[in-house]
Chain A
């Protein structure tokens, strides 16, 4: 019993202490960080890092870019994937199966495989340094997992519901919006959170396609702070806090959904 409790506390501290250090360091000056890297801020909390990161960086811009890219990527992926899930469920024949397999195969291909040709494609289409380009690539690369989860869920819905609506004369669009979508809300919300975490934190595609500051998202901007501020950890951690804030706030309020969403992709 003692040993169990002891290990639980140790693990909890292993998570909490690094997070506490991040918060405290962001409230120190760089001089103090070097003198007193791990202790409580001696001269009180300094909020200068927060004001100067907004002055030196186009932080609000990065933030807005992240919001735009994430919002459109998540909602459009969900929309298109649920259309496909509904289609596969209703078709229920070899064409549906083929489409399902085509998407599931995509889950096995790591992003690094296609990044080289994708880069030249984006150049040709004039989609580098563009938020639209990021959104399109995000949708294409997360469709496989979203189709996989949503199709799996929609196939468990009772067929009779769809058939009854068809007899009542409802078209596919109407059945999709009035029957399939409302019934799939649990699965949709789990997938939404999974996608939200993925797109908000994505580094690879911004790294490949964005060089112009005006289109950088938070993870890429953060990575480049490393070059700029080097070992100025107060600045780096201030960036970390600003970039993680929306995710952390969402997690506090929607914790149950996060856990469901982040495991849905793995369990299904």
Chain B
């Protein structure tokens, strides 16, 4: 059945704002990436692919930020997913205690990144922080560290913070996925005399794969974009060891006013994210199981 033409009016306000404040700036990023614009003066020159060349060949810091991003992403994706899955399996059944615990584990998700950054800066503080004091208490004071000041460790300290921040959210996604598995399948497995491991391997895991893929995809994107946390905790330091692509774009655009170059980096960033998202959606599709 046809609806009246007035339906097109429904798109107007949203499309209008979306076009001006989202589509247009995103496309102009592509345009500015071929210029040497400094963001302030009214004139700029076209420089061809010079910015891209510089990003790929001349800029060692950029290479480092990509490496940092991958390190951060890998640690967060692997450990956050494992933690979330392991705990989801424990708090799966709905009882008063598990419902309370799920709500507690989820709690950090609702805080702002800045708040989480302050909390963990205090935990990591070399002299005041609980982490070093705890290590001292259990006789491991040789492990005590300047957790955010040590260039070899800082990125992992940030990854731990990110996991504390978001593992509860992923846990809830797993619980939703696990609870959707029909109870009968477990009963069949029981009747057939399957062991705990066999049940997990043959019932839980294959049916869990879709939510696992969602968690991994979501975590990957989330960790790729972890701008706020890094910005508030280390600002990319010490010695660029925690600089990730997002904070690097901010730095070159708003601290050294190389808008053209920052645009080129952001285009590359977008392409990387698009590729990752595409790959994950492909895996997600192929993993889909119906029952």
The digit string for A151-183, where 1 denotes a CB below 8 A from any CB of B, is: 000000000001100100001110010000000
Which of A41-49, A57-65, A184-192, A231-239 interfaces with chain B? Answer: A231-239
Residue of A nearest to B87 (CB): A11
Interface residue? B279 (CB, 8 A): no
Please, which residues of chain A bring their CB within 8 A of the CB of B112? 200-201, 203, 218-219, 222, 243-244
B224 x A110 contact (CB < 8 A): yes
Residues 139-175 of B contacting A (Cβ, < 8 Å): 164, 168-169, 172-173
B164 x A116 contact (CB < 8 A): no
A240 x B3 contact (CB < 8 A): no
Q: A84-B10, A141-B22, A166-B3 are in contact. Are A108 and B118 (CB under 8 A)?
A: no
Residues 43-59 of B contacting A (Cβ, < 8 Å): none
Tell me, in angstroms, the Cα distance from A262 to B253 when the chains sit together: 32
Interface residue? A86 (CB, 8 A): yes
A87 x B11 contact (CB < 8 A): yes
Chain A residue total in the interface (Cβ 8 A):
90
CB distance from B100 to the nearest CB of A (A): 9
B228 x A91 contact (CB < 8 A): no
Interface residue? A31 (CB, 8 A): no
Residues 207-261 of B contacting A (Cβ, < 8 Å): 211, 214-215, 218, 224-225, 227-228, 231-232, 245-246, 249-250, 253-254, 259
Which of B24-32, B72-80, B185-193, B195-203 interfaces with chain A? Answer: B24-32
A84 x B11 contact (CB < 8 A): yes
B128 x A33 contact (CB < 8 A): yes
Tell me, in angstroms, the Cα distance from A266 to B220 when the chains sit together: 12
Please, which residues of chain B bring their CB within 8 A of the CB of A108? 270, 273-274, 277
A87 x B10 contact (CB < 8 A): yes
Q: A119-B39, A140-B18 are in contact. Are A240 and B1 (CB under 8 A)?
A: no
CB distance from B182 to the nearest CB of A (A): 18
A38 x B133 contact (CB < 8 A): yes
Residue of B nearest to A196 (CB): B110
Interface residue? B267 (CB, 8 A): yes
Interface residue? B81 (CB, 8 A): no
Residue of B nearest to A197 (CB): B110
A21 x B8 contact (CB < 8 A): no
A115 x B172 contact (CB < 8 A): no
Tell me, in angstroms, the Cα distance from A201 to B231 when the chains sit together: 14
A111 x B225 contact (CB < 8 A): yes
Counting contact residues on chain B (CB < 8 A from A), the size range is 35 or more
B110 x A251 contact (CB < 8 A): yes
A109 x B270 contact (CB < 8 A): yes
B3 x A90 contact (CB < 8 A): yes
Q: Which of B15, B39, B108, B120 contacts A99 (CB 8 A)?
A: B15
B111 x A8 contact (CB < 8 A): no
Residue of A nearest to B277 (CB): A108
Residue of A nearest to B276 (CB): A108
A222 x B118 contact (CB < 8 A): yes
A21 x B122 contact (CB < 8 A): yes
B250 x A115 contact (CB < 8 A): yes
Interface residue? B289 (CB, 8 A): no
Please, which residues of chain A bring their CB within 8 A of the CB of B119? 18-19, 21-22, 237, 240
Please, which residues of chain B bring their CB within 8 A of the CB of A204? 227-228
Residues 74-102 of A contacting B (Cβ, < 8 Å): 79-81, 83-84, 86-87, 90-91, 99, 102
Please, which residues of chain B bring their CB within 8 A of the CB of A8? 87, 90-91, 101
A91 x B25 contact (CB < 8 A): no
A263 x B6 contact (CB < 8 A): no
Residues 1-39 of A contacting B (Cβ, < 8 Å): 4, 7-8, 11-12, 14-19, 21-22, 25, 33-34, 37-38
11 contacts between A and B (CB under 8 A): A15-B168, A18-B119, A87-B11, A109-B22, A110-B246, A111-B225, A114-B25, A114-B266, A118-B25, A239-B118, A240-B114
Q: Which residues from chain B sit less than 8 Å from chain A, CB to CB?
A: 1, 3-4, 6-8, 10-11, 13-15, 17-18, 20-26, 28-29, 32, 39, 86-87, 90-91, 101-115, 118-120, 122-123, 125, 128-130, 133, 164, 168-169, 172-173, 176, 211, 214-215, 218, 224-225, 227-228, 231-232, 245-246, 249-250, 253-254, 259, 262-263, 266-267, 269-270, 273-274, 277
Q: 5 closest A-B pairs (Cβ-Cβ)?
A: A140-B21, A201-B112, A80-B14, A87-B10, A114-B25
10 additional contacts, CB 8 Å, given A90-B3, A110-B224?
A: A12-B105, A15-B107, A84-B11, A108-B274, A112-B227, A116-B25, A120-B39, A172-B7, A222-B114, A222-B115
